[in-house]
Structures are given as structure tokens and as C-alpha cells.
Amino acid sequence: MGPVLLLLEEAMIIEYLVMKLALQAVVDECNRMALMQESQERVRFLRSGIARLEVAYESGLIDGEEYERQSREILGELKKLSMGQSYSIPGGAT
């Protein structure tokens, strides 16, 4: 009965490891999806920032230099997001 118990224990260990890997894959995918959602929300926020900036400039609340500076910052951040820099997961899937 000893060898049968060892085989059963080995099978349980293998099953545990497979389940652990599957769970880690699910967690990695959830993290990736959360980062994508966060990035999409950030893009929407930045785009609305451009619209607010244009309104502020057109209404005279800010001058041309300030408009240019802020728009460069926003466009730079949008460029980073479009290049996928916010999608990396340290130690996980990309």
C-alpha cells in the first residue's frame, strides 16, 4: 500500500501545481485588463483636458505660452499611453 500512497501524493502535488499556475494566469490576465482599463480612463481624462485647455485659451484665462506648455505635456502623456508604456506588468504577462 506504500507505493500507491506515494503515487497519490505525487499526483496531488502535480494537480496542486497545475492549479496554482492556472490561477496565476487568471490573476495576470485580470491585472492586464485592469491596467488597460486604467489607461483608457487616463486617455479620456487627457482628451477632456485638451478640450478644457482650448476653452481656457479661447476665453482668455490663459495665454498662448501657457496653452502651448500644457498642451505639450498632455500630448506627451498621450503619446506615452499610445505606445503602450502603461501596459507593462512587472514580473507578469504583458
Give the C-alpha separation, 54 to 70, whole Å. 10
Q: Whole-prediction pTM value? A: 0.64
Q: Please, which pLDDT band fits residue 94 given cuts at 50, 70 and 90?
A: very low
Closest CA to 63 of 53, 78, 73: 53
| Averaged pLDDT score across all residues of the chain | 88
Task: Name the least confident of 7-11, 43-47, 82-86.
Answer: 82-86
Q: Please, which pLDDT band fits residue 93 given cuts at 50, 70 and 90?
A: very low
**How many domains would you assign to the chain?**
1
Q: Is residue 79 part of a domain?
A: yes
Give the C-alpha separation, 59 to 53, whole Å. 10
> Average pLDDT, stretch 43-70?
96
Q: Please, which pLDDT band fits residue 1 given cuts at 50, 70 and 90?
A: low
Give the C-alpha separation, 19 to 12, whole Å. 10
Quote the domain boundaries for residue 39: 2-85
- Calculate the CA dihedral of residues 6, 7, 12, 16 and round it to 10 degrees: 100
Q: Is residue 68 part of a domain?
A: yes
Chain-centroid distance of CA 44 in Å reads: 14
